[in-house]
């Protein structure tokens, strides 16, 4: 599958952000695209032994990437950090090729002024590296999920200010938890006036998700030395268990809902399916048994989001039935029935398998892999999203892009699900939220 996805990209879109599956050409912001799929895929190519393809991509990065960094035009600070910087840093870690680190340093220093635009240190959503202009208000996840990449870059290059900039964000968010949101759950909207969160929904789905993931992973990346992140993570998980869990009718699927005006909404994005893996990873590093128990329950729910659909692929969003007179646990609206080839469920399957050695998780992965192959494979190379997983025609090519995360995350995690534990061992690395492995700081442990 990785070779077929890469074939589609390299044949029709090499050097562009992504493959346009509707027209078989490259797509991206004109004159500003950052070759997302190419950079995002580097470590996957290396991992699976596609060294000829890796070397070609490595040469392209060496010859072209710095120029892309300084073109005028807005880029997402969050997406550029997790996909491009993360991709470069993991390629450096895995291959040892120093030019990846040097270009990551150039990128980090080019993005650094974005953190100084506002006195509170919270960066805007979008940044122009050429003009230093900013635009749009970021979400909780977008400012709370920059830390792993900048911290590792700072450690690898000695540019400590890069770590200080992202630590300032973490400290500001932690202060708000201490002063107002003591259950560890933060609203997803921010004010650029003072950098504080404002009253809005609380979710582990879109705009909230990876903030919580990075609480655990910052502790792990530090070699378990920076215990304030361990404390913040435990507080947040306690809050999730207390405020966000629900149970569907009639079959009692456990789900993570959303808090809207203090009321639990039985809505769960596919994005939330990272949570079982997060909880299992925490358990593997000394968190309580109840974390693993909840991880297993939520993993089953995420699997059912696939198994109960006609296409055997999950929709983007599901609602859970709470009405005893209705016979179905999962309710999917037509507008939410699309599948973008997302990775969260297979990510969690991989971690749960490594935590438990339960072959059920590999079997679930095989079923999902077969469904991708049956419904999403394109004749000329690549894979496409589909518009309707629930019932009836699947509408292949629902969106024009083959998202870069399909190779970077979804296919990488599927590969790792069936690999030995020693392959990217979880004792040695932490995956950023784009599945890029970064080495744990084991000095002085």
From the list 53, 167, 316, 409, the catalytic residue is: 316
Catalytic status, residue 316: yes
- Contact of 65 with 35, CB cutoff 8 Å: yes
On whether 199 is known to bind a ligand per the annotation, the reply is: no
Active site residue 79: yes
Neighbour tally for 116: CB within 10 Å: 11
**In DSSP terms, which residues pair with 407 in a beta bridge?**
none
In 274-369, at which residue ranges do the beta strands (DSSP E only) sit? 317-320, 330-331
Q: Pinpoint the alpha helices (H) of 308-389.
A: 344-356, 359-376
Q: 369: which 2 tokens?
A: 């892999």
Cα separation values, 287 from 210, 225, 280, 302, 310, Å = 19, 15, 9, 22, 37
Catalytic annotation, pick one of 17, 40, 142, 209: 209
| CA nearest neighbour of 145 among 75, 236, 79, 211 | 211
Neighbours of 432 (CB within 10 A): 28
> Known catalytic residue: 164?
no
Of the listed 53, 79, 258, 347, which one is catalytic?
79
CA distance 158 to 329: 52
Active-site residue among 258, 344, 401, 403? 344
Nearest to 114 by CA among 106, 125, 123, 102: 123
- Whether the upstream peptide bond of residue 222 has omega within 30° of 0, thus cis, is no
379 is catalytic: no
CA 31/CA 247 separation, integer angstroms: 48
302: nearest Cα among 357, 351, 375, 230: 351
- Tell me how far apart the alpha carbons of residues 37 and 409 are, in angstroms, rounded to a whole number: 11
C-beta of residue 349 within 8 angstroms of C-beta of residue 281: no
Whole-angstrom distance between the N-terminal and C-terminal Cα of the chain?
39
Q: E strands within 47-92?
A: 75-76
Q: Which amino acids are annotated as binding site for Ca(2+), given as ranges?
A: 433
Q: Which amino acids are annotated as binding site, given as ranges?
A: 433
Which residues have a catalytic role annotated? 79, 209, 316, 344
């Amino acid at each position: 599958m990785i070779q077929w996805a890469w074939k589609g990209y390299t044949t029709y879109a090499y050097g562009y952000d992504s493959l346009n599956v509707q027209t078989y050409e490259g797509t991206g912001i004109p004159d500003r695209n950052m070759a997302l799929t190419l950079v995002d895929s580097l470590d996957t190519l290396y991992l699976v032994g596609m060294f000829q393809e890796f070397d070609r991509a490595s040469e392209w990065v060496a010859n072209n990437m710095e120029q892309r960094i300084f073109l005028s035009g807005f880029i997402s600070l969050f997406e550029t950090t997790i996909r491009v910087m993360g991709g470069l840093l993991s390629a450096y870690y895995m291959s040892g090729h120093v030019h990846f680190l040097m270009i990551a340093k150039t990128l980090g220093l080019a993005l650094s002024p974005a953190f100084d635009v506002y006195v509170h240190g919270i960066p805007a959503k979008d940044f122009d590296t050429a003009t230093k202009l900013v635009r749009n208000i970021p979400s909780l996840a977008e400012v709370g999920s920059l830390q792993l990449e900048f911290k590792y870059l700072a450690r690898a290059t000695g540019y400590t200010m890069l770590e200080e900039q992202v630590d300032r964000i973490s400290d500001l968010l932690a202060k708000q938890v201490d002063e107002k949101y003591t259950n560890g759950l933060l609203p997803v909207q921010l004010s650029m006036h003072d950098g504080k969160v404002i009253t809005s929904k609380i979710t582990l789905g879109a705009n909230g998700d990876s903030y919580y993931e990075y609480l655990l992973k910052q502790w792990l990346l530090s070699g378990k030395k920076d215990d304030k992140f361990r404390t913040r993570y435990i507080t947040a998980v306690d809050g999730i268990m207390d405020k966000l869990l629900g149970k569907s009718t009639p079959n009692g699927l456990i789900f993570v809902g959303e808090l809207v005006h203090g009321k639990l909404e039985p809505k769960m994005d596919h994005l939330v399916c990272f949570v079982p893996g997060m909880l299992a990873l925490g358990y593997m590093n000394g968190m309580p048994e109840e974390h693993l128990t909840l991880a297993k329950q939520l993993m089953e729910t995420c699997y059912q989001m696939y198994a109960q659909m006609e296409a055997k692929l999950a929709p983007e969003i599901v609602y859970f039935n709470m009405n005893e007179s209705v016979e179905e646990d999962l309710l999917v609206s037509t507008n939410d029935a699309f599948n973008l080839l997302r990775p969260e469920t297979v990510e969690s399957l991989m971690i749960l398998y490594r935590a438990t050695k339960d072959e059920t998780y590999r079997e679930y992965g095989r079923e999902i892999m077969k469904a991708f192959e049956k419904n999403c494979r394109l004749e000329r190379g690549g894979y496409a999203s589909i518009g309707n997983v629930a019932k009836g025609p699947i509408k292949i090519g629902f969106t024009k892009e083959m998202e870069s995360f399909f190779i970077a995350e979804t296919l990488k995690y599927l590969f790792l699900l069936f690999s030995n534990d020693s392959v990217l061992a979880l004792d040695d690395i932490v995956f950023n939220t784009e599945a890029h492995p970064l080495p744990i700081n084991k000095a002085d442990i």
